[in-house]
Amino acid sequence: MAHVRRGKVLRTYDFVDVVDLDSGLGWQVKSTLAQTPVTWKRAKIPDRRDLIAASEKSDDGLQALGNAIINFCNRHAAESLKLYGLTSIGYSRLVIHENGEATYFERLLCTQHAPRIFEPGEFLWRWSSPKRTTKKEQLTALHGLHKPTGKKWFAWHGRGENQLHFSGEQAWWPEGGDSHTITFRLPSESQRLTLEGFIDLLAASDNPLPPA
Tell whether pTM > 0.75. Answer: yes
Phi, psi dihedrals of residue 33, rounded to the nearest 5°:
-65, 155
CA distance 72 to 47: 13
Q: Cα–Cα distance between 131 and 140 in angstroms, integer?
A: 8
pLDDT single digits (tens) 121-157: 999 999 998 876 655 557 899 999 999 999 999 999 9
Give the alpha-carbon dihedral of 71, 76, 77, 79, to 10 degrees. 110
Q: What is the pLDDT confidence band of residue 199, given thresholds at 50, 70 and 90?
A: confident
Task: Give me the chain's average pLDDT, please.
Answer: 90
Give the β-pairing of 151-156 and 137-138.
Answer: unpaired
**pLDDT one-digit tens code per residue, 24-79:** 999 999 999 999 999 999 999 999 999 999 999 999 999 999 999 999 999 999 99
Query: How many H helices and E strands in the chain?
Result: 4, 13
